[in-house]
């Protein structure tokens, strides 16, 4: 079949829309093999900002010097994330991808110390447990690509206390996947495996390929779809052990006795379930927002969304 050719905006939108609509992984990898030579030009036309915003998010939360950190770029594609990482001082980069042709483009950049062919979801990542200071997966969490069941594998290869950065689209055609993804993320947090630091909605993720996907409030002519960035910190071993200790049932009545003397009256106090990861803090210049809402709308400030790390 003829190679996908770079073209005008309508042609690029049609090509990206076709990629989004392929539900079968093998077909999608074949599509990416053909697309690889023109991928960078096409996503630039699309004004795709996920690599830059994800690396910005990671950089602001990263606790140590970037040059000594070992980073894994999962579903690395042509190396757009690596270029952003290198520009911010991250120099020890490993990458994996399921498309040989995408890896060929990534290798030509000369930014990775190691590149491996790996289809996450069908095989484990080619690294021992606790290898990386940070792991990123940008642009591959959607139907027909990386399944939600593969998320624990990202966690496995991350060092205790290390960071995991993930992104997904929040346009209408990807909402079912996003809901399943967030259920997986939340279940791992409830199990004490990691802590959510950021859930950052982004309105202008990339140009919409269909008027039906446009973010409300933007015109169909230059409308964008939305996306979201998540950042998690893997718990250290001592924290995991602490989280495994039995806890009292939530919403039960417990007795709290005043320390004012033996005749003091006991009173009831209701234990409340802590809220899930609040995501981004409200912008004082915007309308009030439900802190648990991760629907994909909101300002682009990253620093205001990061919990103490």
pLDDT score for 239: 55
Mention every residue, 6+ apart, whose C-beta is less than 8 A from residue 47. 204, 206, 207, 224
For the chain, what is the largest distance between any 2 Cα atoms, rounded to a whole number of angstroms? 87
Quick one: 252 exposed, middle or buried, by C-beta within 10 A (0-12, 13-18, 19+)?
A: exposed
224-234 sheet: strands from edge to edge? 114-117, 92-97, 70-74, 132-137, 158-169, 224-234, 194-207
| Gyration radius from the chain CA atoms | 22
Would you say 98 and 91 are in contact if contact means Cβ atoms under 8 Å apart? no
**% the chain with pLDDT above 90:** 62
Please state, in angstroms and rounded to a whole number, the distance separating the CA atoms of residues 121 and 143.
12
- Residue 82 pLDDT: 98
Cβ-contact 128, 161 below 8 angstroms: no
CA distances from 50 to 58, 81, 186, 287 (A): 12, 9, 22, 25
DSSP labels for 185-198? HHHHHHTTSEEEEE
Give residue-wise pLDDT tens across range 18-39: 888 888 889 999 999 999 999 9
Q: What is the pLDDT of residue 252?
A: 33
Per-residue pLDDT tens digits for 106-148: 999 999 999 999 999 999 999 999 999 999 999 999 988 999 9
Q: Could you tell me which of 272, 120, 275 has the C-alpha nearest to residue 186?
A: 275
**Structure tokens, 22:** 């392929």
Cα–Cα distance, 201 to 86 (Å, whole number): 24
Helix (H, G, I), strand (E, B) or coil at 305: helix
**Distance of alpha carbon 154 from alpha carbon 152, whole angstroms:** 5
189-241 confidence digits (pLDDT tens): 999 999 999 999 999 999 998 877 776 665 545 689 999 999 999 999 755 55
**In the predicted model, what is the mean pLDDT of residues 42-62?**
97
Looking at residue 293, its pLDDT comes to 52
142-185 pLDDT tens trace: 988 999 999 999 999 999 999 999 999 999 999 999 999 999 99
Q: Assess whether pLDDT exceeds 70 at residue 249.
A: no
């Amino acid at each position: 079949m003829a190679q996908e050719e770079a073209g005008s905006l309508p042609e690029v939108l049609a090509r990206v829309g076709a990629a989004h609509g392929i539900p079968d992984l093998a077909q999608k990898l074949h599509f990416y093999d053909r697309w690889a030579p023109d991928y960078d030009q096409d996503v630039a036309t699309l004004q795709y900002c996920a690599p830059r915003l994800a690396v910005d998010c990671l950089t602001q939360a990263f606790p140590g010097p970037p040059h000594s950190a070992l980073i894994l770029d999962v579903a690395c594609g042509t190396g757009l994330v690596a270029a952003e990482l290198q520009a911010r001082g991250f120099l020890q980069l490993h990458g994996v991808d399921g498309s040989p042709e995408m890896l060929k483009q990534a290798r030509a950049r000369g930014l990775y110390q190691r590149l491996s062919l790996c289809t996450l979801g069908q095989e484990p990542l080619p690294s021992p447990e606790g290898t990386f200071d940070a792991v990123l997966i940008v642009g591959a969490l959607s139907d027909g690509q990386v399944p939600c069941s593969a998320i624990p594998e990202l966690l496995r290869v991350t060092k205790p206390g290390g960071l995991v950065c993930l992104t997904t689209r929040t346009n209408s055609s990807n909402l079912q996947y996003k809901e399943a993804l967030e259920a997986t993320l939340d279940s791992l947090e409830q199990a004490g495996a990691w802590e959510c630091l950021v859930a950052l909605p982004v309105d202008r993720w990339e140009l919409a390929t269909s008027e039906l996907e446009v973010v409300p409030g933007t015109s169909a002519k230059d409308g964008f779809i939305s996306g979201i960035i998540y950042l998690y910190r893997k718990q250290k071993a001592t924290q995991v052990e602490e989280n495994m200790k039995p806890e009292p049932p939530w919403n039960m009545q417990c007795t709290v006795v005043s320390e004012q003397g033996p005749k003091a009256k006991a009173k009831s106090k209701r234990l409340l379930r802590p809220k899930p990861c609040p995501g981004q803090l409200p912008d004082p210049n915007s309308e009030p927002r439900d802190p648990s809402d991760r629907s994909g709308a909101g300002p682009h400030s990253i620093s205001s969304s990061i919990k103490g790390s």
